[in-house]
Chain A
Amino acid sequence: MESYLRELVRGRPADYVEVRLEETHVTNVSFRGPVLDQVGETTSFGGNVRALVNGGWGFVSFTRLEDLEAKVALAIRQAELVSRERPKPLRLAPVPVVRDIVRPEVGEDPRRVPLSAKKELLEGYNRQIMAWGPPIVTSSVSYFDRHRHIRFANSEGTYIDQELLDVAGVFWAAAARGGVTQIRHYTFGSSSTFGVARGLEAQVEEVCRKAAALLDAPVVQGGVYPVILDPQLAGVFVHEAFGHLSEADNVDENPNLQKVMTLGREFGGPHLHIYDSGSEPGLRGYLRYDDEGVPTRKTYLVREGKLVGRLHSRETAAKMGEEPTGNARAVDWRFPPICRMRTTGIEPGEASFEEMLEGIELGVYAVGSYGGQTAGEMFTFTAGEAYMVRNGKLAEMVRDVTLTGNVFETLRNIDLIGRDPASRDGPGGCGKGEQAPLAVSFRSPHIRIQNVVVGGVTR
């Protein structure tokens, strides 16, 4: 395979050619309410060829492996067509030529756990939710593990044979009364072990209790509040609000955005440090080489409140005269790599949770996330559960808490950063363009932000 792929991309009439073949095996188990919904297996085999000619890219992806020569030729023809429209040639940022074989460091290997044992474990959680009693009416439990084997070769002589492991799941409890339904969930995930799915009985109990409690919680009164985000929500926030803006392929050909995202510009207080890293072992965002064969590294985006870096592919690094960072990722073989995050985080600070509560007369403590979204400088996300903070103390639970704001203003409004960093992976992923869901992780402590718009009812 290695010599075949090396040969395929060598000496072609193009500035650069790469080929990526992927074999993926997925098992999944899911329950919906009392019934087993699915136990299944998927194998997929697919690949792609990407070619660069005089600044233009061509890309061909396929499930049929025959005639790869013709696919290389087609990608080169497409690239030539694009190059006619582009005024200047492009050199990719230089990276070391690598030959490497990467195997995941596995704790409990999900491939060695029989499907029947996976089913039994999850069935236990599901039974626990269903047996909780009123007002819990139903459950949903789902699990997958995915093993990807990626072979990559490029015309510069790099060859990487990389295996990636991904394990994740979620369980939901739904409570209903008088035509109102409320749901709460718990997620787990790992890039190294099936163990992350074990021993979650206490979390199941908690999810049921929270779903039931949400039924009695009033909808939050819309307004502008000081808000404390728990580590999970703070992680989603930094991913949505700042991570996406740092993806260099949004910036590289946009002079106005380059002015906004000038290195050295101040985005927050000296206590604010934001990074993206491929090297947090065990997290789903862990990655040794990106999909251009570039070694990943820890990249600071913000240090002491100032912009110091961004997330690059070889193309964007070259165009902006910066170092490649190993952030070119493709969700699978159907797509070319684009600038994406891995594990994005806020470095811990000094504040305790009590200090954050102190000094809030009326505010919101938002915990966990249903997800978030960003567009330009605006972001929004929804809390899984939330509490009012009154006179420095946690008070009643409220629901339907959606937070929104302007990224720049919100980063400046982070006044306290906790000392309790935490990560929580889950089965979801990041979406950009058509490419979703990509395995990414978050890591952050609690943070406190002043003046956040919270949507809810208004009277």
Chain B
Amino acid sequence: MNAAGDALKNGTDPGALIGRARSLGASQAEVYTLERVEAPVAFEANRLRRVSSTQTGAVAVRVVKDGRLGQATSTRPGDTEVVDMAVRAAELGPPADFDFAPVAPVRGDLQMFDPAVREWDVEAMVQAGRGLVEEVRGLADGLQVEVHLERTETVTRVVTSAGQDVSRRGTLAQLRYSLELVEPENMIHIFYFDRSRRLGLDLDLAVRRVTELFTHARRNVRAGTGSFRVLFAPPAVGDLVAPLVACLDGKAVVKGESPWRDKLGQRLFAEDFTVWDDPTVPWEPRTLPFDDEGVPTTRRPVIERGVLKGFLLDLRTARALGQAAQGNGFRRSPDSPPSPSPTNLVLEPGEKPAAELLSELSEGLYVVQLMGAWAGNPYAGQVSGNVLLGYLVRGGEIVGRVKDCMVSVNVFEAFGGALVARSRETEPSMGAERLPYLLVDKASVTTKA
């Protein structure tokens, strides 16, 4: 049941599509092709529920005709009509205020493809999944364990009329692991996520982590209302850095939505706060040599020692700001146009292990996951979320789980000074980031009396 190898041939001939665009009067053209195979195995309610496989092919074409930009996408292999659609769209399109990627060399040495992921067969995935269920199902009567293991292999190619022709092949192994216990009016839901471009998911760590979080969650305690010191685990830290990403986004900068438009080179945060956009980290999910516009990616700090050093730019926003594109133009899916987003966002870690930060917390909260924190206005830096999974800490010990509780932090203030410490270790958040634990002073906590 393993057909990844030869399933990744796209029926598209980019050269022919660019030729067709030219013959229809386009002055520039860009062809993006994607071929992907995914094989997920899902355990629900402690048992194998579904084995699937998905093959997706797509071609997206952008053209410039009479100074205007047009685009179209199709999933039909070998479709040439997609060029005609793009040319038609260009008649109404926005002014093409940028050029498609010129020829530029891209790195070939990044660690993003592991043949072992391709060879990870369904039987082995089922066995791994069964192991993850069996390891924890005895923790409580009625415990429901869900495991989702998936392998993905993707081939992406970008060809432009300016002569750029680059392709990349990447693998990804993913684990979503959850424990749910339903008691009358009290539900415990522990969620764990890990992913890697190589077949090296740490399943023992996964078991240890969910066991620990579940065990501490069995007892509910009440947090107070007021201003507290809070240790955030990486999944919650992902919500705290989301406003940074929103403010660094070239589109928000060009539009003036981002409050940072005129702040390049200025100190925004504390001296010890550094954030990298790093496409070179071995085996991370967004480790790749070029973006979806064919522009080489670059490892660089976006915030260095508290100073704003750069934005996340695609070709269009780079031109609008008069800067060089750095390879941050990515498509959320083949049918959405490239738009600025980070490669691997890396928050520089600190000195102490997370366990030590926790043990030094005399009175406060340990928040693993927030819920609904993405829903606010990111440009003001206010992050406000329901504590989906969080614990009360006293004298450096977890005393129990807190519920019906909101945490609110202004991350601009927190990263500006109220941030007490970052952990030495970094772990996956829910997205592409790998983040440290953060200890934040003076987070607003509201608990139902």
CB of A458 within 8 A of CB of B183, answer no
Answer whether A138 and B50 are a contact pair too, CB < 8 Å, given A39-B94, A381-B372, A404-B386: no
Residues of A close to B88: CB separation below 8 A:
41, 115
Answer whether A85 and B75 are a contact pair too, CB < 8 Å, given A26-B335, A60-B53, A74-B53: no
Is the CB of A296 closer than 8 A to any CB of chain B?
Answer: no
CB of B257 within 8 A of CB of A453, answer no
CB of A41 within 8 A of CB of B371, answer no
**Size of B's binding interface in residues, CB under 8 A:** 88
CB of B371 within 8 A of CB of A378, answer yes
Is the CB of B448 closer than 8 A to any CB of chain A?
Answer: yes
Answer whether A375 and B58 are a contact pair too, CB < 8 Å, given A64-B77, A74-B1: no
Answer whether A255 and B73 are a contact pair too, CB < 8 Å, given A61-B54, A380-B385, A400-B376: no
CB of B92 within 8 A of CB of A43, answer no
**Size of A's binding interface in residues, CB under 8 A:** 86
Residues of A close to B71: CB separation below 8 A:
38, 40
Distance of A377 Cα from B123 Cα, bound (Å) = 35
Is the CB of A137 closer than 8 A to any CB of chain B?
Answer: yes
Which residue on chain A has the smallest CB distance to residue B188? A376
CB of A254 within 8 A of CB of B75, answer no
CB of A456 within 8 A of CB of B444, answer yes
In chain B, residues 55-100, which have Cβ atoms closer than 8 Å to a Cβ of chain A?
Answer: 55-58, 70-77, 79, 81-82, 85-86, 88-89, 92-95
Residues of A close to B258: CB separation below 8 A:
181
Is the CB of B164 closer than 8 A to any CB of chain A?
Answer: no
CB of A257 within 8 A of CB of B92, answer no
Q: Which of B47, B122, B181, B372 contacts A402 (CB 8 A)?
A: B372
Name the distance in Å between A267's Cβ and chain B's nearest Cβ. Answer: 11
- Against B, the Cβ 8 Å flags (1 = close, 0 = not) of A176-195 are 10011111000000000000
CB of A370 within 8 A of CB of B257, answer no
Q: Which of B11, B92, B379, B386 contacts A39 (CB 8 A)?
A: B92
Best-buried of B45, B88, B94, B225 by chain A (most CB within 10 Å): B94
Is the CB of B446 closer than 8 A to any CB of chain A?
Answer: yes
List the one stretch of A29-37, A95-103, A160-168, A340-348 in contact with chain B: A29-37
Is the CB of B126 closer than 8 A to any CB of chain A?
Answer: yes
Is the CB of B49 closer than 8 A to any CB of chain A?
Answer: yes
Answer whether A36 and B94 are a contact pair too, CB < 8 Å, given A85-B48, A254-B144: yes
Distance of A255 Cα from B184 Cα, bound (Å) = 12
Distance of A224 Cα from B260 Cα, bound (Å) = 35
CB of A45 within 8 A of CB of B76, answer yes
Residues of B close to A260: CB separation below 8 A:
182, 184-185
Is the CB of B375 closer than 8 A to any CB of chain A?
Answer: yes
Distance of A45 Cα from B58 Cα, bound (Å) = 10
List the one stretch of B197-205, B285-293, B404-412, B422-430 in contact with chain A: B404-412
CB of A402 within 8 A of CB of B371, answer no
- Against B, the Cβ 8 Å flags (1 = close, 0 = not) of A102-144 are 0000000000000110010000000000000000011010000
Q: Which of A64, A370, A458 contacts B226 (CB 8 A)?
A: A458
Answer whether A381 and B375 are a contact pair too, CB < 8 Å, given A59-B52, A62-B55, A458-B226: yes
Which residue on chain B has the smallest CB distance to residue A172? B257
CB of A375 within 8 A of CB of B189, answer yes
Q: Which of A40, A60, A254 contacts B337 (CB 8 A)?
A: A40
Residues of A close to B23: CB separation below 8 A:
none
Name the distance in Å between A435's Cβ and chain B's nearest Cβ. Answer: 12
CB of A375 within 8 A of CB of B184, answer no
CB of A78 within 8 A of CB of B1, answer yes
CB of B75 within 8 A of CB of A77, answer no
CB of B380 within 8 A of CB of A137, answer no
Distance of A159 Cα from B380 Cα, bound (Å) = 52
Which residue on chain A has the smallest CB distance to residue B74? A43
- Against A, the Cβ 8 Å flags (1 = close, 0 = not) of B240-276 are 0000000000010011111100000000000000000
Distance of A405 Cα from B406 Cα, bound (Å) = 9
CB of B377 within 8 A of CB of A45, answer no
Which residue on chain A has the smallest CB distance to residue B146? A433
CB of B379 within 8 A of CB of A42, answer no
Residues of B close to A455: CB separation below 8 A:
384-386, 406-408, 444, 446
CB of B375 within 8 A of CB of A370, answer yes
Name the distance in Å between A131's Cβ and chain B's nearest Cβ. Answer: 15
Q: Which of A222, A373, A379, A409 contacts B446 (CB 8 A)?
A: A222
Distance of A336 Cα from B49 Cα, bound (Å) = 12
Residues of B close to A60: CB separation below 8 A:
52-54
CB of B142 within 8 A of CB of A255, answer yes
Residues of A close to B76: CB separation below 8 A:
43, 45, 63
Which 4 pairs, one residue from A and one from B, show the smallest C-beta to C-beta distance? Answer: A455-B406, A376-B187, A253-B45, A380-B372
Interface CB pairs A-B, < 8 A, 20: A33-B255, A38-B337, A43-B75, A61-B53, A64-B55, A78-B51, A182-B377, A223-B446, A371-B375, A372-B375, A374-B371, A376-B182, A377-B185, A378-B187, A378-B371, A400-B376, A400-B377, A400-B408, A453-B446, A453-B447
**A residues in contact (CB < 8 Å) with B:** 26, 32-33, 35-46, 56-64, 74, 77-79, 81-82, 85-86, 115-116, 119, 137-138, 140, 174, 176, 179-183, 219, 222-224, 253-257, 259-260, 334, 336, 370-382, 399-400, 402, 404-406, 408-409, 451, 453-458
**B residues in contact (CB < 8 Å) with A:** 1, 11, 44-45, 47-58, 70-77, 79, 81-82, 85-86, 88-89, 92-95, 122-123, 126, 130, 142, 144, 180-189, 225-227, 251, 254-259, 335, 337, 371-372, 374-377, 379-380, 382, 384-386, 388, 403-408, 444-449
Known contacts A61-B56, A176-B256, A378-B386; 17 additional CB pairs below 8 A are A32-B255, A40-B71, A41-B88, A61-B55, A78-B52, A137-B257, A253-B144, A372-B375, A375-B187, A376-B188, A378-B388, A379-B386, A402-B372, A402-B376, A404-B406, A451-B448, A455-B446
